Structure 1
Amino acid sequence: MNFVSHQSSRQSPVKDRKYWLMALIATLLLGCVNNAPNPETQANLATSTVQYEQWQTVSLGGHKMGYRHILTEAIKPTLINTNKTLSVTLSQPGVANRDITTTLSYQESASGKPISLSKTVQSNNTNHHLRANIKGNTLTLNTKNSSQKEHYTIPQPFYLPEGLRLALLSHSDNVKPFEYFSWNFSTRQFDKIQLTIKPYSNPEQPEYVWHIQQKTIQGDSIKHSEIFSDAQFHALTERSFSNGDEVLIRSCDKACATASFNPNTHVYRQLIRSPYKITDTALHGKIRYLLDGNFTLKIPNTYEQRSSIKDQGTELVICEDCGNEEKPSQSDLNTALEDNYWLPAKNPLFQSLVTEILPDHNSSAAGKMRRLTRFVTRHMSEEPSYSGYSTALEAYNSKKGDCTEHALLLATLARAAQIPTRVVFGLAYSNERFLGRKYVFVPHAWVQAWTGERWESYDSGLGEFTAGYIALGLSDGDQKDILKINEQLHNINIKSAIQIRSR
């Protein structure tokens, strides 16, 4: 979520529009567990036979935004490889359109036994690859930028696309709901899928044979979608919702699916209206908010934010020292120093970089954070880029991204400098005009660092922390955390925002 230059010391939050996109892509790929061919399979692709191919157009809220291509091939007589490629084009005023391509690949035996699966995301500043191998009841996850492996016990029944299709063919005469598990790369968890399948007959749509109601259960979150398939359970049309807007995937030919179009300005979909203008004086003081709406987020207490549940909704009091968060344990601080896929703090590049940025080893943690924040601000491009969710390493190398890349890079550098940090996902207030709208809260990400006495906010994108920052969740940078928040943003209403004056 990036930021353009602005005449004031506080930069414009134009960069803060990506939350909805990641949730949308996750919605489009629900249940799409794909297999990546291993080297032996790659060598055999020349002898493959196409079993099924489908082109589909993808729209959001009635506006086309890309296409999906599904290709299933038989590799010799014993292996089935399925690729599902989703290509999405984003528009943003003043800059060129951005393309994001997400490919899910699955490898199975001819009888539907799962072997492996992968996910690759590519854009102008993102290129990361996740691969999972299946052996027995264990799924082993490998990442392109890390030697670490993660092991997960597979719940049963577990299916990849071809195995699921074969299971549905066997189940088609059974009126009972069909239940299975699929792997979700974005959350690195297994989703429980429940299908209610009924025959469908319509003379105007003779290709539709099955009407499927799908319920996807992700922890305490449930997503619903509607699918119309042919007799062999190939999905022809899928309808779901992302942040209140209809997502429609409809089969057509290649020319239709890939036809050029004028993308809608999707990067501005997630603005939350403020009840009124908040003055700069109030932003630099103390504000009491009241939030209501049908959301289930547990809004955190921090050193800057105090959260409490009232009859009218959730009350937040925000200022530089309004919070009542408990002091972290040594274990908490150790966790906030850990290296992970999104925050590769142990990478030699970052270890060397912090030595250059912070030559004075005796300076305070707060002083070091100010230096690191200035470095990230200067290093990252001022032009926003919303193409995917990059790791800190990708953000550093490309110098592109938005507020998430800013936050991930800053948190990684801080951890490399042995400063405990956490990534905050939430909202930031802006008095600027966006497509005719003023006085709005925009999705935002920033960093909180433990400076010895408190968790203190640092933001290399927008600048200094104000009472206009609402923390909705705390994270170690994992994409799954921002997805959980994003899918509920459209349910949040900021009912009031009142300045609390000192007496």
Structure 2
Amino acid sequence: MRSLIALLLLVLTLCPAPSLRAAVPTAEPATTELTWMSVRLGGRKIGHLQIEHRLENNTVMTTQTLSIMLNRNGKSIPFTNVSRTVETTTGEALSFSARTSMSAIDSTVNGERQPDGRYKVTTTVGGASHETIMEWPQGAMLTEGQRLTMLAASSHTGQHYQLLMFDPSGLQVVPVQMDVLGDEHVDLPGGTETLNHQRQILQQAHGNQIMDLWLDKRGQARKGTLSMIGRQLDMLACDETCAMAPVQDLDMFRAAMVESPRPLTPNLRESFLRYRVHIKGNATQPLIDTDEQHVFNIGNGEWFVDIGGPRSGGQPPPVEEDKLPNAWLQSDAPAVRNLAAQAVGDASNDRQRMRRLRIFVSRYITQHGLDIGYASALEVVSNRQGDCTEYAVLLAAMARAQGIPARVVTGMVYADRYANTSRVFLPHAWVQAWVEGRWQSYDSALRRFDSTHIALDSGDGDPWHFFNATDLFSAMRIEEVFPYWEQSVPGPAPPPGATSGGGR
């Protein structure tokens, strides 16, 4: 799955771009400055970041190009994100755009300020475009506005403040708490520099995500670090030769695996299972409650996760958005609607429709591979290839095309053996559909849902939802797994119907 990609994209948007100075007279000629950074994970080089800053006619254009090579179970996958913002020299947003490419999959977003102050946003995924009008979020900043704010704060050691960062790729506002830690001597590939250390804290239910930045006297980021899947991600300013040095293989998919304390046989997978898990950090609600999964905090960073005994009321009922098309679930596209109608045939109720849709999608994707980027439903209809995320987005879109509310779930699933590793939980994705008054899970990739599916987050199919679960893969340790008939750990009684995992 591509939860790791979403984190790297967030890193790009949180890294302030370089600037020449706050303002220049209009008459001065255009000036351009390039900054290069090496991107390293766990000490191994995985790519580079190029930042181009152009100042012309009292506008600031910042173009950031992140290029990395992902490796998943021996498959090398090139990934590029190009983000461009145009602002006034005082940090007022004028336009933004972003393009994300992985393998042969591209998605783009373009936003232009209109005369009335609103923004026309065009999102294109798989060749299909969707246009909306959005109000600019109050207080939100693009790259130049962020730089000016952090530069102003750099002389106030000990100051705490908030930045509302607008992310062009995800079209979302990221509220970040900032701490000014003061000037420090920092070793970089080109030598030691005196830089201002500021810390960004992104607060979320899964636990705080912290990124440290070191800024020069113009507010340019010269170094950035954060933790990702248990490893340190570094972005270090250096010259072009250093930034463009060859990448080193690092299997990010393997790093996201979580060991199982015991083998989970087929009969256990079909039963109610209780997991006792330990999660590092200060998460307030690291896993979600669903109509099939119930989470209990037992203190000291430990949680019970009960899966099985499905019943309604574990999560809120659907809202209108759960039935609507979007850039990733193009349920209104004729190709998706026709395919869904073909799959359900003469089914008379939603339970029959979802079962037929699940079977159809399981058979429809004929090339299963890890070298496909996060594709939209329309792209999957066309190329019929992908991994678990492609199965999930296609099934969710086809369900919505039939008027059935559906969501894409991010989580983990058990495998007896994967990539020469035994008894592990792997990143995974599947679908929830609203059937007979509750959310029910359907897994087209594995052709069945069972009690080894641990849900971490759910959403509308946008890959940015996968970011919410990224850190959990390295922060979680499964201490114990046991079925309803074992009582090795005291706790809440199993729910009614706990003898069945509800596999479909």
Normalised to the residue count of structure 1, the TM-score between the two structures is: 0.82
1:80 aligned partner: 60
Q: Distance in 2 between matches of 1:202 and 1:256?
A: 17
Q: Distance in 2 between matches of 1:257 and 1:33?
A: 16
Report how far residue 268 of structure 1 moved.
1.5
Question: Could you tell me whether the CA contact under 8 Å between 1:380 and 1:399 is conserved in 2?
Answer: yes
1:66 aligned partner: 47
Kindly provide the CA deviation profile for residues 2-60 of structure 1, in whole angstroms up to 9, marking residues without a partner as x: xxxxxxxxxxxxxxxx32332233234325589xxxxxxxxxxxx98442101211111
User: In structure 2, what residue type is equivalent to 1:99?
Assistant: P
2:13 aligned partner: 29
After superposition, the Cα gap between the structure-2 partners of 1:218 and 1:317, relative to the gap in structure 1 and judged at 3 Å, is closer
1:417 aligned partner: 402
Question: Could you tell me whether the CA contact under 8 Å between 1:50 and 1:71 is conserved in 2?
Answer: no
Kindly provide the CA deviation profile for residues 364-407 of structure 1, in whole angstroms up to 9, marking residues without a partner as x: 32332233223322332433235543322233334343212211
Structure 2 residue corresponding to 1:383, chosen from 355, 358, 368:
368
1:102 aligned partner: 81
2:164 aligned partner: 181
Runs (5+) with no aligned partner, structure 2: 19-27, 486-498
Q: Secondary structure at the match of 1:345?
A: coil
Counterparts of 1:402-481 in structure 2, within 5 Å, are: 402-435=387-420, 437-452=421-436, 454-481=438-465
Structure 1 residue corresponding to 2:130, chosen from 147, 155, 160:
147
Q: Distance in 1 between matches of 2:424 and 2:154?
A: 49
Identity %: 25
Question: Could you tell me whether the CA contact under 8 Å between 1:473 and 1:485 is conserved in 2?
Answer: yes
Runs (5+) with no aligned partner, structure 1: 2-17, 35-46
After superposition, the Cα gap between the structure-2 partners of 1:208 and 1:141, relative to the gap in structure 1 and judged at 3 Å, is farther
Report how far residue 119 of structure 1 moved.
1.6
Deviates more, 1:260-269 or 1:473-482: 473-482
Question: Could you tell me whether the CA contact under 8 Å between 1:89 and 1:100 is conserved in 2?
Answer: yes
After superposition, the Cα gap between the structure-2 partners of 1:115 and 1:232, relative to the gap in structure 1 and judged at 3 Å, is same
Question: Could you tell me whether the CA contact under 8 Å between 2:361 and 2:395 is conserved in 1?
Answer: yes
Deviates more, 1:83-92 or 1:389-398: 389-398
After superposition, the Cα gap between the structure-2 partners of 1:456 and 1:202, relative to the gap in structure 1 and judged at 3 Å, is closer
After superposition, the Cα gap between the structure-2 partners of 1:484 and 1:202, relative to the gap in structure 1 and judged at 3 Å, is closer
Question: Could you tell me whether the CA contact under 8 Å between 2:64 and 2:83 is conserved in 1?
Answer: yes
Deviates more, 1:133-142 or 1:426-435: 133-142
1:314 aligned partner: 303
After superposition, the Cα gap between the structure-2 partners of 1:167 and 1:429, relative to the gap in structure 1 and judged at 3 Å, is closer
User: In structure 1, what residue type is equivalent to 2:389?
Assistant: T
Kindly provide the CA deviation profile for residues 321-356 of structure 1, in whole angstroms up to 9, marking residues without a partner as x: x03332988x72644322222222112221222233
Question: Could you tell me whether the CA contact under 8 Å between 1:54 and 1:71 is conserved in 2?
Answer: yes
2:25 aligned partner: none
If asked which structure has higher relative contact order (CA below 8 Å, sep 6+), I would say 1
Q: Does 1:323 align with 2:302?
A: no
Q: Distance in 1 between matches of 2:291 and 2:176?
A: 37
Structure 2 residue corresponding to 1:290, chosen from 276, 279, 294:
276
Q: Distance in 2 between matches of 1:491 and 1:246?
A: 13
After superposition, the Cα gap between the structure-2 partners of 1:291 and 1:152, relative to the gap in structure 1 and judged at 3 Å, is farther
After superposition, the Cα gap between the structure-2 partners of 1:401 and 1:27, relative to the gap in structure 1 and judged at 3 Å, is farther
Report how far residue 173 of structure 1 moved.
4.2
Q: Distance in 2 between matches of 1:193 and 1:139?
A: 26
Report how far residue 159 of structure 1 moved.
3.5
Q: Distance in 1 between matches of 2:434 and 2:218?
A: 56
After superposition, the Cα gap between the structure-2 partners of 1:151 and 1:178, relative to the gap in structure 1 and judged at 3 Å, is same
Question: Could you tell me whether the CA contact under 8 Å between 1:125 and 1:395 is conserved in 2?
Answer: no
1:14 aligned partner: none
Question: Could you tell me whether the CA contact under 8 Å between 1:449 and 1:457 is conserved in 2?
Answer: yes
Report how far residue 137 of structure 1 moved.
7.4
Q: Does 1:358 align with 2:358?
A: no
Q: Distance in 2 between matches of 1:218 and 1:146?
A: 33
Q: Distance in 2 between matches of 1:382 and 1:230?
A: 49
Report how far residue 139 of structure 1 moved.
5.7
Report how far residue 462 of structure 1 moved.
1.3
2:494 aligned partner: none
Q: Distance in 2 between matches of 1:272 and 1:381?
A: 28
User: In structure 1, what residue type is equivalent to 2:166?
Assistant: W
Q: Does 1:237 align with 2:223?
A: yes
Q: Distance in 2 between matches of 1:151 and 1:33?
A: 25
User: In structure 1, what residue type is equivalent to 2:38?
Assistant: T
2:23 aligned partner: none
Report how far residue 170 of structure 1 moved.
5.0
Question: Could you tell me whether the CA contact under 8 Å between 1:100 and 1:387 is conserved in 2?
Answer: no
Structure 1 residue corresponding to 2:38, chosen from 54, 57, 77:
57
Q: Distance in 2 between matches of 1:259 and 1:417?
A: 50
1:341 aligned partner: 327
Q: Secondary structure at the match of 1:316?
A: strand
Report how far residue 219 of structure 1 moved.
5.0
Give the structure with the larger strand fraction. Answer: 2
Q: Distance in 1 between matches of 2:266 and 2:154?
A: 62
Deviates more, 1:377-386 or 1:468-477: 377-386
Q: Secondary structure at the match of 1:410?
A: helix
Alignment length (residue pairs) = 467
2:237 aligned partner: 251
Q: Distance in 1 between matches of 2:291 and 2:141?
A: 45
1:190 aligned partner: 174
Question: Could you tell me whether the CA contact under 8 Å between 2:118 and 2:133 is conserved in 1?
Answer: no
Q: Distance in 2 between matches of 1:203 and 1:261?
A: 21
Kindly provide the CA deviation profile for residues 68-124 of structure 1, in whole angstroms up to 9, marking residues without a partner as x: 11111234x3332111000110123454x2101001101122444321112210122
Q: Distance in 1 between matches of 2:152 and 2:417?
A: 57
After superposition, the Cα gap between the structure-2 partners of 1:150 and 1:275, relative to the gap in structure 1 and judged at 3 Å, is farther
Report how far residue 447 of structure 1 moved.
1.0
Report how far residue 317 of structure 1 moved.
2.9
Q: Distance in 1 between matches of 2:187 and 2:373?
A: 41
